[in-house]
Structure 1
Amino acid sequence: MLANILYTRPTIEQALSALDKSRLKLPVLNPRALFDDFESQPVTLVELSQGPWSSPVADTVMLAKFAMCAKPKRVLEVGSYRGFTTKMLARHTAEDARIVAFDRDPRHGEAYRGTAWEAKIERRVGDMCEEAFVQDMPGSYDLIFLDADHSYDAVKRDTEILLPLIAKDGLFIWHDYANWGRFSRKNGVPEYLHECSRNIPIANVNGSWLAVYSPAWASTDGIELFNRACNSDADKAGTDPWTIEVVRG
C-alpha cells in the first residue's frame, strides 16, 4: 500500500499541473529568427546524460546550438551536477572559450573530469551568494546557464546575483521553465520569470524548457528583433501536423 501511495505522488502533481493550462505565459521564441544558421549548426551527441537532475537531451541540444551560434568566449553554468551539460558546452564552443562550472556539491563534474574537455573548464564549488562571484567582473560572461535550485526564492536570488555578470550582447538562459512542481513548490521558475518579464524581455525557447534573455534586446533594434522572433509565422501554421513547424522537445 505504501509503495502505491509513493508511486502516485508524482502522478497527482502532474495531473494537477495539466489542469492549469495558463501557467506558462511567456512568449515563445523561434531561435531560427535570431540566428540564420541555427538549423545548420551540427550538434555532436556522443553520450546520454545520467541522473535525475540532468537536463533532457532536447534541451542540451538546443543549448548547444545557442552556444554555437552566439560563439561565447566566457560561459558560466550554475547547477552543474554531473557535468554532462558542461561537457556539451565545452564540445560546442571555440577552442579558446572558457567555461566556469559552479555547484555547491563537491562531487560535481564527473562527466568531463579526466577528459580532453576538462582543460576548458574551471570547476568551482560553493554556495550561491554574491561573494562566490567577486572575482568576476560585471558583464564578463557571454552566456550564462542557470539550472540550480528551482524554488521561487532560490531562482530569484540566483538570477539577481548573476544578471549583472552577463555581457551587453550576451545570453542568459534559465532551465525548467516548465509546468511541473507548482503545487510541491519545487519549481517556481515560471512564476519568477513572469514577474521578471514585466521589466526585461524574456521568452520561452520553442520546443524546450529553456527561457532566454539578452540585454541587447533593451535597445530599439533589439526589441524589434525579439518581437519578430516571438511572432514567427512558422510557429503559427495551424493544426495540420504536416505544416506545424514547432520543435518537438
Structure 2
Amino acid sequence: MRWLRFLEGERVKYGLESDGVVTPVKGSPFNSYQRETKSYALEDLMLLSPCEPSKVLCVGLNYRDHAQEVKIELPDKPVIFMKPSTSVVGSCQDIVCPPISRRVDYEAELAVVIRKTAKNIARQDAHQFVLGYTCGNDVTARDLQPKDGQWTISKSFDTFCPLGPVIDTDANPDNLMVRLLLNGEVKQQANTNQMIFSPLDLVSYLSAVMTLHPGDVILTGTPSGIGPIRPGDQVTVEIDGIGSLVNPVVEG
C-alpha cells in the first residue's frame, strides 16, 4: 500500500495511491479507515508531507562511507538528534535557506514512519510498529553546526525536513537504493544494506528511550556525497519503489 496526504479543497485528506490514481479515505492509516468511492489523478493533487510527526528522530553517521567522509570513527551505538515538527514539509514545497546561514546542505535519507505507539520494543517485534517508509532530506545549515558543538540549531529551521511523496508499506528497508539529485545530477547514491544500524534496530533502540507515537519519523542517516544547495536549485531524493521527493530551494 502507498499512503499519502493531500489537500481536497481546504480539507487535509489521507489517500491510497496506485498507478497514479489516488483513492481518498475517511480516517487515516494510524486508525480505522474506509475507502471513498471517488478518485483523483496523482498529478492533479497538492501533496503534503505523508504524515504529521510529533517528533523526527535522526541518526548521524549511519553509513560507513559517510563516517569516513567526515573523518569520524564508526559509532558503537546510534548517534541520535532530533528535528522539530515545524521543520516538516512535503514534496514540491520549498526549502527556505535562512539568512543567518552561508551554507545549507542536502542529506538524502530513508525515513521510517511509526504506525502505533511503541515503547520498549524488542528487535524481532519492531516491524509490527512500522507503517512503512518514505523519502527524507535532513537539510542542514552546515556552517552553524560546528559553532554550537551540537546539531539542534543547524538541523531545525522551518522547511529543513522534507518528507514524501508517499509512505510505502511494502518496502524492504534493508535493500533500497537511495539517491540524491541536485538539478538532475546524481550527488549521493547508496544501498541501505550499507547502514551500520538497520531501520528496525533503530526502532527498538529508540523505543527503549522514549515513547514513539503514530506518525513519528526516524531518519536513518545519509550516505557520502553531502554538499551545498542554493536558492534556485532543485533537490530530489529518490528511493527505488517509493518515489521521488522533489523540493525547490528558495532564499529566506
Smaller-chain TM-score bracket: under 0.3
Q: TM-score, normalised by structure 1?
A: 0.23
The answer to which structure, 1 or 2, has the higher relative contact order (CA under 8 A, 6+ apart) is 2
Higher helix share: 1
Higher strand share: 2
Q: Which has the larger radius of gyration?
A: 1
